Structure 1
Amino acid sequence: MELVCPAGTPAALRAAVDAGAHTIYCGFADETNARNFPGLNFSREEMAAGVAYAHRAGAKLLIAINTFPRAGSEDLWHRAVDDAEAVGADAVILADLGLLAYAAEHRSGLRRHLSVQAAAANPDAIMFYAEAFDVKRVVLPRVLSVEEIAAINRDIDVETEVFVFGGLCVMAEGRCSLSSYATGRSPNMHGVCSPASHVVYGEEQEELVSRLAGFTIHKVAKDAPAPYPTLCKGCFSAGGHTGHVFEDPISLDAAELIPRLAEAGVTALKIEGRQRSRAYVSAVVKSFRRATDAIAAGRPVPVSELAHLTEGQTSTLGAYRKIWR
C-alpha cells in the first residue's frame, strides 16, 4: 500500500523522502492550508524544489488546499490550485465544493483528491464527488471502523486513504464547534485546533493542570505524561462522573491493523503530523515503510516501536474498533 507522509517544512519533506515515503503531502504558507502555523509550510519556490526532490527519488507530492474559501477572497484559493499545477504537484487535496468545481473546470489535468475535511463517510457522498468533480481518491474521516471501510470500498470506484498514525480527531473532521467556541479559531477556516497560544499549564495541589482559553481540560499527577489539551478528548463532568466521552487523550497507532486495512481495500495509509519535527517524520516513516514492505512481501507486520512519539506516550486504535459504541 502507498505510504502518504507529512511535511510541514522543506527539511521534513527531505527527511520523509529519504526515509522511504512513497508520497508526501504539504501545503502553501497561507490560509489555503489547514495547518497554517507560523514557521511551517512552503513558499512557491520551496514547493517547486520539494516537488523536484520527491520526483528525483521516485516519490510523489500532494498539495493540501483543504480549507474553505472566505467570501470575497476566493482568488487566493484559486491561485493556490493554479500554482499547484505550475510547480508540478501530483495531486491537490481539496474539501470545498466550489474549489473542486474550479479545479475540475480550469485545471482538469491536475489530479484531485478529496480531503478528510469534507467528511465523506458513505458511498453515496463519495461517488457524488467522483462523478461531479472526477475525484480519484478520498481521505476517509477517522470515525469509521475497518468493517465500515470495507463496506464503502465494495460500493465505490474511488481509491481510499486512511489515517494510521498521529493525532486522532473524533469529531466531524475540521468542523469542531468546541474549539471554535473556546478560542475563536476555527479548525477548517484557520487550520487551528486548540491553538497553542491559548494553552496554559499550571501546578495545583500536586497536580499538573492543563487549560485551554480558561477551560480546564486535564489534571494529572506532576510526574505523569501530560496530553495535549484538546477539547474533544478532555475530561467532562456530568451526573457525578468525570471521564473521557470518546477516547482517552492519546494518539492513533493502527500499525497492527494494516493487514486488515489491506483486506478492506484501502489504497493508501496516511501519517498525520505536519506540525512535527523532521526527526519525528523520519522515525515514523521508516517504521511504517517497514510495515508496508512486509505486507507487500507477505511477511508479518513488525511490532510498532513508536510509543515514545505518541501523545501521552501511549496509543489507541480509535474508531477502527469504536469502543464508545
Structure 2
Amino acid sequence: MSIFCTSVIRMNASLQRQSNISSDLEVSSYYLLEEWTLNTPDTNVKMFLIPPIVCLVAGVLIIPSILFVIFSRFNIRQETRYMLLGNALLCDLLYLLLYTLSAALSTAHVSLPKEACVLQLFSLAVAYCGGLFTAAVMVLDTYIAILFPLRYVAILPSSRTRKVIVLLWVCSGVLPGVFFLVLSSTHSFVPCVLEMCAIPVIILLTLSGTSAVKLSFWLSVMVIFLFLSLIFCCYGVLYFKTRRSGIWENICSRASVTFLMHNTVFFFYFSPLLVLFVESFLYINIVIGLQTSIWISLTICNVLMILPKVLFPFLYGLRYREISASLRSLVRIKRLHLVSPAPSPS
C-alpha cells in the first residue's frame, strides 16, 4: 500500500477521534488497515506469493491440455461427466489466474481503481463458486450413474447437462452478487480498502462489519459448506451401497484409489472453510490477535484455497481413461513429428 494511503488512514482516524462522527466500526477498520500496512513485514508477505505462482504454473501446464482434449473430441464432449469436468477445470483455471494476479498486485503495493477491485473480487467469487458447485454436480452425476445405471441417460442427457452448466454459472453469479450488493448498500468499505484490494484484509474487515454484512458472509459460507457436505454424503452413500459388490476388497483396486483421491481433493475444498470458521470465531471473540488472524487469513487464501484447484486436474481429471489415453496419444504424435527423419536427397 502506498505511503499516501497510509497517511490518509492516520488522518481520517484522528479526525474521527476528534469529531466523533463515524462509527466505532470505521475507526477499528482504519486501525486494522494501519496495522496491516505498518506491522506486516514485506518479506514474509512475499513468501506467501510463492504457492499461488507454483500452483498457477502447474495448472497452466495441465488444465489447458485436458480442456483441449475434451473440446476437440466429439465423443468426449458429448458425455455429461466430461462436460462437467471441463466446466470445473475452466473455473479453476480462471480462479488461479485471477487470484495470482490479485496477490501479485497486492504484494507489489499496486493501487487499483475501486471499480477494478470490485470486478476482480466478484470474478474471483464467481470462479470459486462455479468450481465448487460444478464439483458437487459431478458427484451427483457419479451417484446417479452408479445407483441408476439404466435411467442415467434419460436423467442426464447432454442437452440437459448444458442447461445445468448454464444454471451453475447463474447461481455462481447470484450468490456473490447478493453479498456484494449488501456490502455496497451498507457502505461497509472504508477508504483505501478497495485501493489496497488485499483479499485477507477484506475478509478481516468483513468479519468486523455490520450485522447485515456478517449475516451475508456467514450465509454464503453456510451455502458453500452445505455443498461440500452434500459431496461427502454422496460419496458415503456410494460406499455403503457398493461395499458388498466386491470392488472394495483390494485396497489397491481402481475403485478404492479413485475414492481416496476424490475425497482427498474435496477435503482440501472443505478444510479452508473449516479453518476460516475457527479463525473467525476466535478473532471475533478476541481469543487471537490481529497479527495472528492476518497470518491465518494469508494461509487460507494463498495456500488452502489454491491447493485444491491444482490437485483437481491431477487427481481427478487424469483418472479418466479416455482423457489420459488422448493426452498420451497427443504426446506420442508430437514426439513423432520431432524425431521424424529428414527426406533423403534424390
TM-score, normalised on structure 1? Answer: 0.23
Higher strand share: 1
Higher relative contact order structure (alpha carbons within 8 Å, sequence separation ≥ 6): 2
Higher helix share: 2
